[in-house]
Structure 1
Amino acid sequence: MSEPTPFYYNLDTKQVEEGHQSPGSQLMGPYASREEAQHALEKAAARNESWDRDDAAWDAED
């Protein structure tokens, strides 16, 4: 049985690609589904906010 085709979010075109079609420097992923790839920027923004809060808390401990 073959592996499922991964999905990528293309940062330049703002489109989801099925399979690795563009240079890696333009892509976020791989993701297991098209829907997951469509929300790549939202997920990255939420992760960055969480890391920023963690960094602020870490700095406040000093």
Structure 2
Amino acid sequence: MAYWYNIQTKQVETDENRSRNDDVMGPYETEAEASNAIASAQQNTEKWDAEDRAWEGEDDLED
């Protein structure tokens, strides 16, 4: 079974009761992963932003 996080209701949903719109994030393997969807997305975004800055050489400009 897959789990989904609904960003409007802030509830975890399953395949059986999942909203069929753009308000869900997932799928996730566990309910805990789905519950942590927003924090995981934020961490990934910060990591990818740092990687982009390093790729573009912006980290070298801080001196």
Report if TM-score (shorter chain) is over 0.5. yes
- Correspondent of 1:35 among 14, 32, 49: 32
1:1-62 maps to which residues of 2 (within 5 A)? 5-19=1-15, 21-60=18-57
Query: Displacement, 1:34?
Result: 0.6
Q: Distance in 1 between matches of 2:49 and 2:10?
A: 25
1:22-53: per-residue Cα shift (whole Å, max 9, x none)? 02401000111110100011111000000100
Q: Distance in 1 between matches of 2:5 and 2:18?
A: 11
Query: Which residue type is aligned with residue 27 of structure 1?
Result: V
Gaps of 5+ in 2: 59-63
Identity of aligned residues (%): 40
TM-score of the pair, normalised by structure 2: 0.81
Q: Supply the RMSD in Å over aligned alpha carbons.
A: 1.4
